[in-house]
């Protein structure tokens, strides 16, 4: 356990992970006394879910990976490296190569939301108590509140978050994702990434070393390769990849460049591949599979909910806007510094949600018409995140097109993906029961 | 001056009969001069007095702010059938999504989108300039408009004249006894959006000559500035003034933020227009500009000697949802009282608004 208030959340996670390993049988040493407090915070049904045979290996890989990531963050903090908070539509290879400590802003609230009974509500309540409206995105509110509470590291630089930049006096780097998905827009975006590198070099005091970057990009490529392969496997009938992996896929894709991301996606892929080879299913024997394309977002406050979907309804989770990389995303060419920067820019250009939400509705709609067809979906589920106003102005266009071209129905409901108080799990289950009864 | 009402606009009627095309637009980043120079009437779409969103709600949700929903409502109900074109912008998460719905269901013939980077910097400007240039090209191509440099220069002169006249109106309101109420001033200012600008200039000049002779208003409780989300409806200003406040300035995108900052009249006209629109007092959508917005707001507040600022924010408006508590905190620290007031675009929940405004004025009086 590391001292210092700014490590309070990290310490909370560390104890959580140790408890997870203990439960999963991977840790035998006795846990310290303070673990009891954390144990009381953890969602009780999370343990049941992770202990299921189909979930155990990935659950353990997650615990190990998160444990290593916490160690990495602590080490960088000990070394006094510059803390760079980055946006959730990119990966941290460049910051790693510049020897900074990259922390994804949304991940702090997200990991808390996924583990604890009260998720990241403490952070959300803190920022809302400052006058910020409840309809803003909880993925950012959680972390913003934690920053105000002082329980996470202070930023030295922010990629995209003006509020935090003003509040903590840290420089703000922005990069523009142009509104079009074409060559002109991509060229502009490559320029943006290059400009971002220049600014990060100044702030970190290091210049971007080609060899170092190659090292991290290769690690990122490994994770990406597994991710794309498992994405393909989800087209199989029955779907071989459990639904609760979708929120964690999002989390670990944000760590591409770190070995933890590779371990996670490798395990997910191996499990899925084995099931395909053996013709095994992730839903109970005798249940008919209901293949669900989630046209927008998972919720991150109850992973057991997704397990319940499989167990209760045989409903599998194929793809969503927060996880889908188009197959043409590919890998980053590591030939030179230029190809790596351009390759990372291309990956971020294709990044889930960024690609769909930062452009015309057509991109999103067309992606999901194609996904529903390719993944042989039986229905489209639109779990709309309350804060995402752009989604709420396209969901009808999306469901109409999917009905027209694929002939499948849509379920739409409201949720806050990091705040269970908005639509509690019990209500989500009621909504699902009603929908599947009419399907 | 006969003011252009939403449902009864003689200027648009006359334009359609005698001149031709009307092009709708949203947001302060769409350069009106280009439309005007192409021989068309730029019309900033609005929904003053709109009371329902039932048609729009089929495509937009209750989590979308009522500004785009009201605009869409009017589009879907046929009130904007007079538009020959519509130029949207990626101004915010909600406005930008109107593009596809409007294209598909309102079926305005010519649809355009100008995309603006979310920060102010050289390369961002180059992107925006190209967008503006493409927009001009599209107008030329679709409507067979000439749109020469000379046309652009003339349009710049006309629009700059408006800006100077409107600035004069704001200056008059700085005096101890402003000669015009905030409500009437706002009606005069916003009329510019919905009538030919050369005619507007002529009429505004006459109005200013008359207004400047007035004795002035002194029976007010407090001098107030209005800021925050899009607000084109004078009924909100009227509500504030009905409680005894006198609105003497604003930082609205239908007010100072749209009309301040001139276009350079020398040099390449398209470049000059793009520069002015990209660099004008920025909307909260523009990152890295908070300091400038704070400075702009403070300067306006001090210049008009306001006693307090009302930042009205429309429910579910992200941009002002984040900006208003930041501004409130910083302005209060500078000794300027601030009321952050959540409201809908259309005037509703009037009882609550009145109570909040009344309490704010009482707070100011107690100082």
Cβ within 8 Å, pair A132-B117: no
Q: Which of B26, B57, B58, B59 to mutate to test the interface with A (most CBs of A within 10 A)?
A: B59
Q: What pLDDT, in 10s, does the model give residues A73-93? A: 999 999 999 999 999 999 999
Cβ within 8 Å, pair B99-A131: no
Strand, helix or coil for residue A117: coil
Q: What pLDDT, in 10s, does the model give residues A55-74? A: 999 999 999 999 999 999 99
Cβ within 8 Å, pair B123-A192: yes
Chain B residue numbers with beta carbons less than 8 Å from the beta carbon of A414 are 63
3-state SS record for chain B: CCCCCCCCCHHHHHHHHHCCCEEEECCCCCCHHHHHHCCCEEEECCCCCCCCCCCHHHCCCCCCCHHHHHHHHHHHCCCCCCCCEEEEECCCCCCCCHHHHHHHHHCCCEEEEECCCCECCHHHHHHHHHHHHHHHHHHHHHHCCCCCHHHHHHHHHHHHHHHHHHHHHHHHCCCCCCCCCHHHHHHHHHHHHHCCHHHHHHHHHHHHHHHCCCCCCCCCCEEEEEEECCCCCHHHHHHHHHCCEEEEEECCCCCHHHHCCCCCCCCCHHHHHHHHHHHCCCCCCCECCHHHHHHHHHHHHHHCCCCEEEEEEECCCHHHHHHHHHHHHHHHHCCCCEEEEEECCCCCCHHHHHHHHHHHHHHHHHC
Question: Which of B46, B90, B94 is CA-nearest to residue B71?
Answer: B46
pLDDT at A298 over 80: yes
Q: Which of A182, A366, A393 to mutate to test the interface with B (most CBs of B within 10 A)?
A: A393
Structure confidence at residue A400 as a pLDDT band (50, 70, 90): very high
pLDDT at res. A1: 64
Q: What pLDDT, in 10s, does the model give residues A323-382? A: 999 999 999 999 999 999 999 999 999 999 999 988 999 999 999 999 999 999 999 999
Minimum distance, in Å, between the CA of residue B74 and any CA atom of chain A: 16
- The reply to whether A163 touches chain B by the CB within 8 Å rule is yes
- A309 secondary structure, DSSP code: I
Pairwise CA distance, residues A111 & A251, whole Å = 8
pLDDT at res. B18: 92
pLDDT at A395 over 80: yes
Query: Going by C-beta distance under 8 Å and a sequence separation of 6 or more, which residues neighbour residue A396?
Result: B58, B59
Chain B residue numbers with beta carbons less than 8 Å from the beta carbon of A166 are 290-291, 326
Q: Sheet of B22-25: strands edge to edge? A: B41-44, B22-25, B85-89, B110-114
Query: Going by C-beta distance under 8 Å and a sequence separation of 6 or more, which residues neighbour residue B90?
Result: A179, B96, B113, B115, B116
Chain B residue numbers with beta carbons less than 8 Å from the beta carbon of A396 are 58-59
pLDDT at res. A28: 80
Chain B residue numbers with beta carbons less than 8 Å from the beta carbon of A179 are 90, 96, 113, 115
Cβ within 8 Å, pair A393-B59: yes
- The reply to whether A172 touches chain B by the CB within 8 Å rule is yes
Chain B residue numbers with beta carbons less than 8 Å from the beta carbon of A389 are 63-65, 92-94, 97, 316, 318
Q: What pLDDT, in 10s, does the model give residues A163-205? A: 999 999 999 999 999 999 999 999 999 999 999 999 999 999 9
pLDDT at res. A29: 82
Question: Which of A63, A68, A40 is CA-nearest to residue A51?
Answer: A63
- The reply to whether A260 touches chain B by the CB within 8 Å rule is no
Judged by CB atoms within 8 Å, which residues 215-254 of A form the interface with B? none
Judged by CB atoms within 8 Å, which residues 326-365 of A form the interface with B? 360-362
Structure confidence at residue B216 as a pLDDT band (50, 70, 90): very high
Judged by CB atoms within 8 Å, which residues 406-425 of A form the interface with B? 414
Q: What pLDDT, in 10s, does the model give residues B11-62? A: 999 999 998 999 999 999 999 999 999 999 999 999 998 999 999 999 999 9
pLDDT at res. A2: 67
* Average predicted confidence (pLDDT) for chain B: 97
Pull the structure tokens for residue A279: 């013709």
Cβ within 8 Å, pair A393-B328: no
Q: Please answer whether residues A12 and A20 qualify as being in contact, where contact means their C-beta atoms are separated by less than 8 angstroms.
A: no
Pull the structure tokens for residue B57: 């709600």
pLDDT at res. A7: 96
pLDDT at A426 over 80: yes
pLDDT at B351 over 70: yes
- The reply to whether B5 touches chain A by the CB within 8 Å rule is no
Pairwise CA distance, residues A352 & A294, whole Å = 13
Cβ within 8 Å, pair B127-A192: no
- The reply to whether B287 touches chain A by the CB within 8 Å rule is yes
Least CB–CB distance from A172: residue in B117, B287, B329: B287
Cβ within 8 Å, pair A179-B90: yes
Q: What pLDDT, in 10s, does the model give residues B94-124? A: 999 999 999 999 989 999 999 999 999 999 9
Pairwise CA distance, residues A339 & A360, whole Å = 28
pLDDT at res. A439: 86
Q: What pLDDT, in 10s, does the model give residues A108-125? A: 999 999 999 999 999 999
Cβ within 8 Å, pair A393-B123: no
Where do we find the tokens 């043409």?
Answer: A328
Structure confidence at residue A14 as a pLDDT band (50, 70, 90): very high
Chain B residue numbers with beta carbons less than 8 Å from the beta carbon of A394 are 97, 100
Structure confidence at residue A9 as a pLDDT band (50, 70, 90): very high
Taking residues B257-272, what's their average pLDDT? 96
Pairwise CA distance, residues B246 & B361, whole Å = 10
Cβ within 8 Å, pair A176-B321: no
Minimum distance, in Å, between the CA of residue B215 and any CA atom of chain A: 41
Top pLDDT among B131 and A439 is at B131
Q: Would you call B209 exposed, middle or buried from its count of C-beta atoms within 10 A (0-12, 13-18, 19+)? A: exposed
pLDDT at A297 over 70: yes
ipTM score of complex: 0.95
Cβ within 8 Å, pair B94-A389: yes
Domain ranges of chain A: 4-438
Taking residues A270-275, what's their average pLDDT? 98
């Amino acid at each position: 356990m590391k001292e210092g208030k700014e490590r309070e959340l990290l310490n909370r996670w560390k104890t959580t992970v140790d408890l997870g390993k203990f439960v999963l049988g991977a840790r035998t040493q006795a846990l310290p006394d303070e673990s009891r407090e954390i144990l009381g915070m953890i969602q009780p049904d999370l343990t049941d879910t992770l202990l299921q045979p189909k979930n155990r290996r990935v659950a353990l890989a997650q615990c190990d990976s998160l444990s290593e990531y916490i160690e990495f963050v602590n080490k960088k903090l000990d070394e006094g490296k510059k803390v760079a908070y980055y946006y959730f539509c990119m990966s941290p290879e460049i910051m790693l190569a510049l020897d900074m400590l990259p922390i994804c802003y949304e991940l702090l609230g997200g990991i808390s939301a996924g583990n604890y009974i009260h998720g990241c509500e403490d952070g959300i309540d803190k920022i809302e108590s400052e006058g910020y409206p409840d309809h803003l995105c909880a993925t950012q509110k959680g972390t913003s509140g934690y920053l105000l509470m002082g329980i996470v590291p202070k930023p030295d630089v922010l990629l995209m978050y003006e509020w935090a930049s003003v509040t903590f006096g840290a420089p703000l780097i922005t990069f523009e994702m142009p509104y079009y998905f074409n060559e002109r827009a991509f060229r502009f975006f490559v320029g943006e990434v290059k400009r971002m590198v220049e600014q990060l070099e100044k702030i970190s005091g290091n210049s971007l070393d080609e060899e170092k970057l190659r090292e991290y990009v290769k690690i990122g490529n490994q994770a990406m390769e597994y991710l794309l392969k498992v994405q393909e496997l989800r087209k199989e009938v029955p779907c071989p990849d459990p639904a609760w992996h979708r929120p964690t896929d999002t989390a670990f894709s944000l760590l591409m460049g770190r070995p933890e991301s590779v371990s996670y996606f490798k395990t997910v892929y191996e499990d899925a591949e084995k099931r395909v080879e053996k013709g095994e299913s992730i839903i109970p024997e005798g249940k008919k599979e209901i293949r669900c394309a989630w046209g927008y977002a998972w919720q991150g406050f109850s992973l057991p909910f997704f397990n319940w979907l499989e167990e209760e309804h045989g409903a599998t989770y194929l793809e969503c806007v927060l996880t889908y990389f188009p197959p043409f995303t590919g890998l980053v060419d590591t030939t030179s510094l230029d190809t790596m920067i351009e390759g990372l820019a291309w990956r971020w250009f294709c990044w889930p949600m960024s690609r769909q939400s930062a452009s015309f509705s057509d991109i999103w709609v067309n992606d999901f018409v194609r996904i529903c067809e390719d993944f042989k979906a039986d229905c489209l589920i639109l779990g709309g995140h309350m804060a995402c106003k752009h989604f709420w102005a396209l969901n009808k266009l999306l469901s109409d097109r999917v009905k027209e071209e694929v002939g499948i129905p849509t379920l739409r409901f409201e949720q806050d993906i990091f705040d269970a108080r908005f639509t509690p799990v019990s209500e989500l289950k009621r909504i699902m029961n009603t929908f599947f009864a009419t399907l | 001056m006969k003011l252009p009402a939403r449902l009864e606009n003689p200027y648009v009627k006359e334009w359609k009969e005698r001149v031709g095309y009307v092009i709708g637009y949203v947001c302060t980043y769409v350069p009106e001069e280009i439309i005007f120079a192409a021989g068309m009437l730029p019309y900033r779409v609005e929904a003053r007095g709109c009371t329902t969103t039932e048609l729009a709600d089929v495509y937009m949700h209750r989590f979308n702010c009522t500004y785009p929903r009201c605009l869409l409502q009017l589009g879907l109900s046929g009130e904007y059938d007079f538009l020959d074109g519509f130029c949207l912008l990626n101004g915010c998460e909600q406005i930008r999504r109107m593009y596809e719905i409007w294209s598909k269901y309102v079926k305005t013939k010519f649809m355009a989108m100008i995309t603006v980077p979310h920060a102010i910097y050289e390369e961002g400007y180059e992107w925006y300039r190209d967008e503006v240039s493409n927009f001009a090209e599209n107008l030329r191509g679709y409507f067979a408009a000439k749109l020469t440099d000379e046309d652009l220069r003339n349009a710049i002169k006309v629009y700059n004249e408006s800006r100077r006249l409107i600035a004069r109106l704001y200056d008059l309101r700085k005096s101890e006894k402003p000669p015009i109420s905030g409500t009437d001033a706002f009606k005069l200012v916003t009329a510019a959006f919905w009538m030919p600008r050369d005619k507007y200039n002529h009429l505004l000049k006459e109005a200013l000559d008359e207004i400047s002779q007035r004795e002035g208003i002194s029976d007010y409780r407090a001098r107030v500035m209005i800021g925050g989300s899009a607000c084109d409806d004078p009924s909100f200003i009227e509500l504030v003034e009905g409680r005894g406040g006198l609105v003497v300035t604003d930082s609205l995108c239908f007010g100072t933020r749209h009309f301040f900052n001139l276009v350079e009249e020398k040099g390449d006209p398209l470049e000059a227009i793009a520069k002015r629109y990209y660099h004008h007092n920025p909307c909260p959508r523009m990152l890295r500009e908070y300091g400038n917005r704070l400075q702009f707001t403070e300067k306006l507040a001090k210049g008009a000697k306001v006693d307090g600022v009302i930042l009205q924010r429309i429910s579910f408006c992200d941009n002002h949802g984040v900006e208003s508590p930041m501004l409130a905190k910083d302005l209060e620290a500078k000794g300027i009282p601030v009321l952050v007031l959540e409201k809908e675009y259309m005037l509703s929940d009037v009882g609550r608004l009145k109570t909040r405004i009344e309490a704010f004025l009482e707070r100011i009086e107690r100082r």
